[in-house]
Amino acid sequence: MHRHLSLLILFTTALAYGQALPVASNLYMRVRVSDALKTSKLKPGDRVEGTLTNDVYSGAQQVFAAGSRVQLTVDQLERRRRVPNDHWPWVVQAFTPRHQNFPVFHVASIVSPDGRETALQVTVISVRNERPVEAPDKQAKKAAKTKPQVEKLVTMEAAANVGSLVATEPASGTPVQLPAGTQGKVILLGDLSAGKSKPGDAFQARVVEPVRLDSSVVIPEGTVLTGKVVRRTPPRMLSRAGSLLLSFTDLTVPGGVATPVEASISRAELDQRSHTRIDPEGVMHGERPGKAWMAINLGVTGGIAKEVDDGTQLLIEAVVSTATDASTAGTARIAGICASTLFVLTRHGRDVVLPQYTEMNIVFNRPVSLPAFQAPAQTK
């Protein structure tokens, strides 16, 4: 199985060699790098090379092609807080370092297939292994049980030169009808989770690839979708996992007005360690604890029972002078059983965590009437 690393990078300035970047807003990119890369071993001055996984767009225009070579240079190492995950129970996470050394990239270079090189100033946001999580086909009787590919990726956003494009505006022509079932690709613009989000909470996402109808762009890159948390179930006792249902309610193209929509999530790129699945209705569920999770908690349960048993005997014998090991054994055993049972009953299940910049595929559940999109004109 191929494994790749995901680095989330924010481009704050863009400088092009030989040609200005034909973009008018921030760019979003994902770069696949070698699975042999160990970010903890990187040092200032080291170079990381990879390739773009997808075409990169600004509005309706392609800026960089998939497969373009990317080179990043480590500027320094920064101590950052680890991103929370639900891979291990809390007894393991309690002994996991809260911070880690994080590589900071300030310079990146992208070489297009035609040989044009573009230098970018960047800021790294996150580094993670990712895997796709998809909702099963509602029409399929049995979903194919294939193990999802884990990828090491660099995800980036860039603020670019606006001199080569005019502002994007919707045309005044006949509205277009986007049919139900149309899919789009977006990135989340804020953090969401089953444990912390509440029903009714609003969130936003940004379209990162144009949506086309009969080869014409109807939803350009940069379009913002607004949604809300429909319902959520936080992780509960008895190791019951949380769940989260999101719905998109409005769509706003650059320079346009909000258009009501109804869309749900069909796929998400999540951290490799995330134990999350999506059902056919778009509800995201935390998975049940695995064997390792249960084995660790059972081991801790046994340890608690033993310690409480021994501690109770010592306490009784210290208070009651006539007490013996034989006379206190039953009471101590009951105390140990009660303590371990309480520990097991109060264990919470896995959470559903969607960090900022999570890439997701959405599907429009109903037809949408949109204003005709006018692609921006290029200036010379």
Please tell me the predicted confidence (pLDDT) of residue 308. 72
Which of 99-108, 270-279, 349-358, 361-370 has the largest mean confidence? 361-370
Phi, psi at residue 162, to the nearest 5°?
Answer: -100, 5
Query: Parallel, antiparallel, or unpaired for β 5-16 and 151-158?
Result: parallel
Please tell me the predicted confidence (pLDDT) of residue 205. 94
The residue whose two tokens read 């790098």 is 33
Q: Which helix or strand (DSSP H or E) is residue 378 part of? A: none
pLDDT single digits (tens) 172-207? 557 888 999 999 999 999 999 998 999 999 999 999
Buried b (16+ CB within 10 A) or exposed e, 85-106: bbbebeeeeeeeeeebebbbbb
Average pLDDT over residues 103-131: 79
- Which residues have C-beta within 8 Å of that of residue 275, sequence separation ≥ 6? 86, 87, 241, 286, 287, 290, 350
pLDDT single digits (tens) 207-227? 999 999 888 889 998 899 999
The domain spans of the chain are 5-289+350-374, 291-345
- pTM of the complete model: 0.74
pLDDT single digits (tens) 338-366? 877 776 676 777 889 898 889 999 999 99
The answer to whether 153 touches 33, Cβ cutoff 8 Å, is yes
Please tell me the predicted confidence (pLDDT) of residue 13. 39
